[in-house]
């Protein structure tokens, strides 16, 4: 079985509604947005980390919620799950205590969701399990845009119970973390104040150089490799570079919009500049795809102009407005 019994709209207030440019960010952020929302928390408050995205010579920093931010805002702590028995037994022990287990796995282990291609394209992904009933071979978990359930053969695939799939040698290569509530989550004004404090802290650790200037310098070499490899290599490049860039700044735009909704003063056009980066990254992705298919290189100079200028109108402006973190 495969359902959306707890799906209530992506991310809750501040992240719900509209027509997003990027429907997904990455498996970590997509999962945590849904998990936090499922725990009746406010995921948008954890988005200040988006201001720290940098260009890492071959990709843009993948946005992830820092563990310290999750603890400060929501009272959630994470601990590595030591695996020495079957994965099923470890997860059962923790969910029975009311904890959630976040674990990484191959997307081919999951049942295919409507419109998705997990069985066609094998990629790393992660799920958050909050319910496990071993005697019924049934599990409930968060993944990407909602809450799902699996049983029977799908359950066996997730926990490697099929003949030949479960072996002691494979367990060390499964990464799993236990998530538990160690303190009460902040609410309303205290949540907003803590989120603003995190924003100042992350702005104080933002890239000192415009990441888009660095990307622009590296792009001619990227384009040369893309044209040489053709379409098979394009999708991985687009995911690690253009989607990480565009989706990150779309999240930052939604965070700024949430601050405005909370009565905070935000620099004029900063959110607009973030949305421009999100849409321009998508335009560049389409143009590069067309270039690869037609075998006609496109240097995307106008896209890079827009991205570079929009970054300058967003993160540095926010840093000047919100100032340095308190000592």
Residues 195 and 238 reside in one and the same domain:
yes
Residue scoring higher pLDDT (13 or 185): 185
Is 46 a domain residue? no
Segment among 149-153, 192-196, 198-202 with least mean pLDDT: 149-153
pLDDT at 128 over 70: yes
Listed residues 147, 181, 215: the one ending a domain: 181
Task: Work out how many domains the chain is built from and give that number.
Answer: 2
95-98 CB contacts, 8 Å cutoff, 24+ apart: 95/129, 95/130, 95/131, 95/132, 96/132, 97/180, 98/180
SS (H, E, C) 123-149: CEEEEEEEEEEHHHCEEEEEECCEEEE
Residues 226 and 285 reside in one and the same domain:
yes
Q: Range of 258's domain?
A: 188-322
Residues 140 and 258 reside in one and the same domain:
no
pLDDT at 114 over 70: no
Is 45 a domain residue? no
Residues 112 and 158 reside in one and the same domain:
yes
Residues 213 and 316 reside in one and the same domain:
yes
Is 268 a domain residue? yes
Residues 276 and 309 reside in one and the same domain:
yes
Is 163 a domain residue? yes
Share of the chain above pLDDT 90, in %: 72
- The HSE-up count of residue 320 (CA atoms within 13 Å, CB side) is 9
Q: Tell me, what's the pLDDT at 208? A: 93
Residues 35 and 125 reside in one and the same domain:
yes
Q: Tell me, what's the pLDDT at 175? A: 84
Instruction: Label residue 271 exposed, middle or buried (CB < 10 Å: 0-12, 13-18, 19+).
Output: buried
Is 280 a domain residue? yes
Q: Tell me, what's the pLDDT at 245? A: 98
Is 66 a domain residue? no
Is 54 a domain residue? no
pLDDT at 10 over 70: no
pLDDT at 115 over 80: no
Segment among 34-38, 122-126, 273-277 with least mean pLDDT: 122-126
Neighbour-count burial for 13-44, b at 16+ CB within 10 Å, e otherwise: ebbeeeeebbeebbbbbbbbbbbbbbbebbbb
Residues 240 and 173 reside in one and the same domain:
no
Residue scoring higher pLDDT (200 or 146): 200
Residues 172 and 241 reside in one and the same domain:
no
Residues 152 and 276 reside in one and the same domain:
no
Is 11 a domain residue? no
Give the H or E element holding residue 177: strand 176-181
Q: Tell me, what's the pLDDT at 76? A: 97
Listed residues 181, 216, 250: the one ending a domain: 181
pLDDT at 22 over 70: yes
The Cα angle at residue 321 between residues 320 and 323, in degrees rounded to 5: 65
pLDDT for 35-68, tens place per residue?
999 999 999 999 999 999 999 999 999 999 999 9
For helices 211-229 and 270-294, angle between their N-to-C axes, nearest 10 degrees: 20
pLDDT at 11 over 60: no
Listed residues 165, 181, 197: the one ending a domain: 181
Q: Tell me, what's the pLDDT at 122? A: 64
The answer to whether the CB of 100 falls within 8 A of the CB of 179 is: yes
pLDDT at 168 over 60: no
Sort residue 36 into left (φ over 0), alpha (ψ -120 to 50) or beta.
alpha
């Amino acid at each position: 079985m495969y359902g959306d019994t707890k799906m209530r709209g992506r991310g809750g207030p501040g992240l719900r509604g509209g027509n997003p440019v990027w429907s997904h960010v990455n498996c970590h952020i997509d999962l945590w947005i849904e998990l936090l929302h499922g725990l009746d928390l406010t995921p948008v408050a954890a988005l200040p980390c988006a201001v720290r995205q940098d260009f890492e010579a071959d990709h843009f920093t993948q946005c992830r919620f820092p563990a310290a931010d999750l603890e400060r805002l929501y009272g959630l702590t994470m601990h590595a799950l030591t695996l020495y028995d079957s994965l099923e037994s470890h997860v059962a022990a923790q969910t029975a205590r009311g904890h959630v287990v976040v674990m990484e796995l191959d997307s081919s282990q999951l049942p295919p969701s409507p419109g998705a291609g997990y069985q066609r394209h094998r990629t790393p992904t992660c799920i958050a399990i909050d319910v496990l009933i071993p005697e019924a071979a049934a599990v409930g978990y968060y993944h990407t845009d909602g809450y799902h359930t699996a049983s029977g053969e799908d359950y066996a695939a997730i926990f490697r119970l099929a003949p030949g799939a479960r072996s002691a040698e494979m367990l060390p290569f499964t990464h799993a973390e236990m998530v538990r509530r160690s303190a009460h989550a902040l609410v309303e004004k205290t949540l907003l104040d803590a989120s603003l404090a995190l924003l100042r802290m992350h702005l104080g650790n933002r890239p000192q150089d415009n990441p888009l200037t660095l990307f622009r310098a590296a792009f001619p070499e990227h384009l040369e490799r893309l044209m040489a490899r053709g379409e098979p290599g394009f999708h991985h490049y687009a995911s690690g570079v253009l989607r990480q860039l565009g989706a990150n700044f779309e999240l930052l735009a939604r965070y700024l919009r949430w601050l405005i909704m909370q009565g905070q003063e935000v620099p004029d056009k900063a959110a607009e500049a973030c949305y421009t980066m999100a849409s321009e990254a998508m335009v560049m992705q389409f143009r590069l795809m067309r270039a690869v298919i037609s075998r006609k290189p496109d240097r995307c100079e106008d896209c890079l102009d827009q991205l570079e200028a929009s970054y300058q109108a967003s993160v540095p402006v926010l840093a000047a407005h919100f100032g340095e973190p308190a000592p």
